[in-house]
Amino acid sequence: MVPTNYYLILSAILFGLGIVAFVFKRNIITIFMAIELMLNAVNLTFVTFARLQNDIGGQVSVFFVLVVAAAEVVVGLAIIVAMFRRRAAATADDIHSLRG
């Protein structure tokens, strides 16, 4: 049986890696992957505390976070496709080109 602290440490490491990637990367796809990594780190924390308290509330929260993440991916990919149609690259600096 794995101790609860290991899950929380892994979650903190994943969240930290997501923050670093979000701040320092310029590619839009990498930024979205960093956001997804942070959301999954939070999901791991929810599941860990749900297991610790023998409650299903954490798993229900994970379900809602995954639904929001799926919606975010759909909107984000639509923005990326719109950027690729205007330019050959998709960096965070190119977002201003979508203004009409």
Residue 50 has pLDDT above 80, yes or no: yes
Average pLDDT across the chain, whole number: 87
Mean pLDDT of 43-66: 92
In whole angstroms, what is the distance from residue 72 CA to residue 54 CA? 30
> What are the structure tokens assigned to 88, written together?
């050959």
pTM exceeds cut of 0.75:
yes
Q: Is 46 exposed, middle or buried (0-12, 13-18, 19+ CB in 10 A)?
A: buried
Q: Regarding the domain delimited by 4-98, which CATH topology (the fold level of the hierarchy) does it fall under?
A: Helix Hairpins (1.10.287)
76 vs 37, residue with greater confidence: 37
Residue 40 has pLDDT above 70, yes or no: yes
